[in-house]
Amino acid sequence: MLGTMNIVSDGNIASARVGSLWIAGTGDRPIEDAIWREYLEHAAASVRDVGPFTGVLLWAPTFGPSTHQRRMLTDEYGKAVRVDAQRRVALISESAFVRGTITAINWLLRKNVLAFAPPNVGKALQWLAEEVAFDPFEARAALDGVADAVRSDIRKRATS
């Protein structure tokens, strides 16, 4: 079932939940720490209200969380968002460097984290569905909505 989409106050991160899949997308500028914390609060509220999500699909064509923000996720919000329950994480990025880095980390640490190029969203959803319960059609629609939400922020700023 498609849940409510949340958009942080500056429009740079949007998120939604479909079944046990958490879907998030980032805009075209670096994420401020306060905005990252606001996003993590949305994720924590979803866990409190619906239960843990076991998969994550992150649409980050150009910018994702910084090292400090990833530490904030694990150190400050790890329990609230139930990082321990997450079985698979798929990152969608236009950057071949980012995708290669994620692939190398996965090989070294044997984590279930994979990176995909934007044309391979279908493959990412198939891979996630091997271990995560969600409707793939609703997930694709939610991802499109999340991506459009952060793109609309880009369009708004371009016309200002």
64-106 pLDDT, tens digit each:
888 888 888 889 999 999 988 989 989 888 876 565 556 655 5
* Candidate CATH numbers 3.40.630.180, 3.40.50.720, 3.40.140.10, 3.30.750.24; the one for domain 6-159: 3.30.750.24
* Burial class (CB within 10 angstroms; exposed 0-12, middle 13-18, buried 19+) of 107: exposed
Give residue 151's Cα distance to chain centre.
Answer: 15
b/e 1-17 (16+ beta carbons within 10 angstroms → b): ebbebbbbeebbbbbbb
Q: Is there a contact between 12 and 48 (Cβ–Cβ < 8 Å)?
A: no
Over residues 9-63, the pLDDT tens digits come to: 999 999 999 999 999 999 988 899 999 999 999 999 999 999 999 999 989 888 7
Average pLDDT over residues 132-141: 95
Residue spans per domain, the chain:
6-159
- Residue 103 pLDDT: 60
